[in-house]
């Protein structure tokens, strides 16, 4: 279902943006809302200025049920091609993670039974944006294709849970312990422990990543960036990362992503 949503967004979003942005100009073709200093006038016609530098940041989501943050620095190498450097922090969930609670206790906390590690991902890469369709006017949409490649670091933090220990009839004590699938059943688990518990025991998995996507920039002003990017991202690591117990874990993750970006341009 999530993958269908991303594919639907990839094809529908550009059409919706073009329609939404052009309707006001059709109704009021002579009006201009751009403030002074954002354009150069020559013989009564607007002359576009090429801003060579760009800095943007935003939020991203992908089909591995993860969300994250993205920061990019770009610079034009030609009029239609930009070199991009990016940093990202996100996390990846196994599709078989299912949140549950201990039904024997009304106030028990939710947890993911069978989950061994929480996987966080730090990416640092570089690539290019190339214009496919140049924005015809301020109310239009510019379309670019994006290629990125770089270093990906998987950070696997072990899962800690609050474990029940019966001391008498209907009397229990709680202890915070690392989840062990050979030792604990669902009836012995009260709920999740604080997130940062076990952070110092995290294991690192170096690897690489690659992206291929489409970037739709729809900002009204030449020196401002508003864009949405959709595409495919692949993360590959040096070894299999154990996210779940008693499941086939993987070394390569392939998913769809969507990225919402805002920023500024300058000379």
- Reported as a single tens digit per residue, the pLDDT across 67-80 is 999 999 999 999 99
Residue 231 CA to residue 207 CA, distance in Å, equals 20
CATH number (domain holding residue 62): 2.40.160.20
pLDDT digits (tens, 9 = 90+) for 79-93: 999 999 999 999 999
HEC secondary structure over 18-48: HHHHHHHHHHCCCCCCCCCCCCEEECCEEEC
pTM of the model: 0.79
pLDDT band at 191 (very low <50, low <70, confident <90, very high): very high
- DSSP annotation of 115 reads B
Q: Where are the beta strands (DSSP E) in the chain?
A: 40-42, 45-47, 53-62, 66-78, 81-92, 99-100, 111-112, 117-133, 142-158, 160-168, 171-178, 189-192, 203-217, 224-241, 250-266
pLDDT digits (tens, 9 = 90+) for 91-146: 999 988 999 999 988 889 999 999 999 999 999 999 999 999 998 877 789 999 99
Q: Does the pLDDT of residue 37 top 70, yes or no? A: no
Domain encompassing residue 122: 2-266
Once rounded to an integer, what is the mean pLDDT over residues 159-174?
Answer: 92
pLDDT band at 30 (very low <50, low <70, confident <90, very high): very low
192 within 8 A of 110, measured Cβ to Cβ: yes
User: What is the count of structural domains for the chain?
Assistant: 1
């Amino acid at each position: 279902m999530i993958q269908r949503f991303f594919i639907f967004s990839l094809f529908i979003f550009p059409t919706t943006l073009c329609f939404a942005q052009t309707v006001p100009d059709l109704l009021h073709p002579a009006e201009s809302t751009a403030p002074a200093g954002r354009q150069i006038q020559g013989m009564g016609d607007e002359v576009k200025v090429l801003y060579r530098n760009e800095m943007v940041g935003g939020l991203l989501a992908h089909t591995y049920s993860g969300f994250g943050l993205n920061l990019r620095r770009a610079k034009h190498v030609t009029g239609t091609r930009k070199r991009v450097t990016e940093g990202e922090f996100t996390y990846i969930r196994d599709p078989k993670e299912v949140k549950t609670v201990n039904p024997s206790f009304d106030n028990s906390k939710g947890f993911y039974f069978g989950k061994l590690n929480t996987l966080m991902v730090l990416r640092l890469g570089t690539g290019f944006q190339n214009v496919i369709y140049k924005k015809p006017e301020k109310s239009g949409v510019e379309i670019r294709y994006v290629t990125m490649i770089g270093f990906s670091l998987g950070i696997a933090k072990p899962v800690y849970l609050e474990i029940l220990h019966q001391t008498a009839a209907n009397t229990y004590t709680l202890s915070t312990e690392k989840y062990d699938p050979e030792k604990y059943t669902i009836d012995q688990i009260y709920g999740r422990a604080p997130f940062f518990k076990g952070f110092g025991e995290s294991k690192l998995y170096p690897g690489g990543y690659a992206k291929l996507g489409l970037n739709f920039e729809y900002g009204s002003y030449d020196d401002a960036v508003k864009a949405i990017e959709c595409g495919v991202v692949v993360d590959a690591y040096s070894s299999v990362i154990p996210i779940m117990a008693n499941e086939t874990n993987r070394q390569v993750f392939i998913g769809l992503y969507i990225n919402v970006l805002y920023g500024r341009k300058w000379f």
